[in-house]
Amino acid sequence: MIVDIENTTTSKVSKKLRELREAGGVVALTRVLTLVILTSKDNAEPAIEAANLASREHPCRIIVLASGRATDETRLDAQIRVGGDAGASEVIVLEASGELAEQNEAMVSALLLPDAPIVAWWADELPDGVSETPIGQIAHRRITDTAMDPRPLEALRRLSTHYSEGDTDLAWTRLTGWRIQLASILDTLDPEAITSVTVEAAADLPSAALLAAWLRMGLEIPVELVSTAAPEDSELPLTLTAVTFHREMGDVSLSRPRGEEIAVLHSADGLVQGVPLPVRTLQDCLAEELRRLDSDEIFGEVLSRALPATDFLESASSAD
């Protein structure tokens, strides 16, 4: 069920939500958290779709602040989605423009679930110091996605500069499969025999900079970040394509062509085998982040300490 409320206030939206609950259409008692999505109007629906799918694992109340232009008429239009239109959640979409376009806690305070953790997700561009923003100050976890920013590496640099416990970024979450497989490979190798590492990825990819910094921090050896050619098919996502451990007795590499779900592991003895390594969807990444409400200490160390000690936030060197 979808209920539209035009030119309204958050108190009227809250009242309508209570009426729906009393009528038996909305059950909030089983919601485990409040997810606040901060996004532009253009990106609102993809973010809502991902949140709806993730909510099947983490039932929550979803509040979407879809900001319009500050130069438009000042007004607030709302939409309440429940039942099949909201996954395992209840979705409240607030489209604000004019003087209301600025995202602040007053827009959501009347709609938050009582005594439930708050997770804030900036689904596209991120502000400086997300933990210092009005929404960031009330959130237990703050999720960003630097890959969605028009200048992704600059966004990652700003996130690193203003990092606070509780911050996380989906560029890091997309690395979960890679980190698991690479850790498994390293368990079979003598770390002292590895002389250097090469990470190949699409240019200006935040995930690649984070992975390269993670490897350099863990192995304490040179790591080179090399950009690969853009895919001919524009529909394919920009991703990591290969990681190679260089050794005198032979290289060991894990590579995954864009669009493929199976990576290829080349071992030093010439053995080649397939390794499942699908590209993670936005839903997968969001669901993983909603599983934990504590700080990701490894991410914090990579972002705030390891990454600034490298030049990976500069554009990756061009492949020959």
Mean pLDDT confidence for 166-182: 97
Question: According to the model, what pLDDT value does residue 230 have?
Answer: 67
Q: Which residue, 170, 188, 203, sits at the end of a domain?
A: 170
Same-domain check for residues 43 and 166: yes
Q: Is the pLDDT of residue 219 over 80?
A: yes
Same-domain check for residues 88 and 124: yes
Q: Is the pLDDT of residue 274 over 80?
A: yes
This prediction has a pTM of 0.90
Q: Is the pLDDT of residue 296 over 70?
A: yes
For residue 310, being part of any structural domain is answered with: no
For residue 317, being part of any structural domain is answered with: no
Question: According to the model, what pLDDT value does residue 100 have?
Answer: 76
Question: According to the model, what pLDDT value does residue 259 have?
Answer: 72
Question: According to the model, what pLDDT value does residue 319 have?
Answer: 41
For residue 195, being part of any structural domain is answered with: yes
Mean pLDDT confidence for 232-257: 87
26-83 per-position pLDDT tens digit: 454 467 899 999 998 888 999 999 999 998 888 889 999 988 777 778 888 999 988 7
For residue 286, being part of any structural domain is answered with: no
Q: Which residue, 137, 170, 203, sits at the end of a domain?
A: 170
For residue 14, being part of any structural domain is answered with: yes
Look up the domain containing 96 and give its range: 2-170
- Alpha carbon distance 77, 238 (integer Å): 35
Same-domain check for residues 268 and 125: no
Q: Which residue, 113, 137, 170, sits at the end of a domain?
A: 170
306-315 per-position pLDDT tens digit: 999 999 998 5
Same-domain check for residues 161 and 243: no
Mean pLDDT confidence for 241-267: 93
Question: According to the model, what pLDDT value does residue 228 have?
Answer: 86
Q: Is the pLDDT of residue 131 over 70?
A: yes
- Alpha carbon distance 274, 261 (integer Å): 10
Q: Is the pLDDT of residue 316 over 50?
A: no
Same-domain check for residues 97 and 165: yes
What percent of the chain is predicted at pLDDT more than 90? 58
For the chain, how many structural domains are there in total? 2
Contacts of 113 (CB under 8 A, 6+ apart): 28, 31, 33, 34, 61
Q: Which long-range contacts (CB under 8 A, 24 or more apart) does 154-161 make?
A: 154/313, 155/125, 155/126, 155/206, 156/206, 156/209, 156/210, 156/303, 156/307, 156/313, 157/313, 158/126, 158/128, 159/126, 159/130, 159/303, 160/303, 160/304, 160/307, 160/308, 160/313
For residue 258, being part of any structural domain is answered with: yes
Question: According to the model, what pLDDT value does residue 86 have?
Answer: 56
Question: According to the model, what pLDDT value does residue 137 have?
Answer: 94
Same-domain check for residues 46 and 140: yes
**Residue 62, CA atoms < 13 Å, CB-side half-sphere:** 34
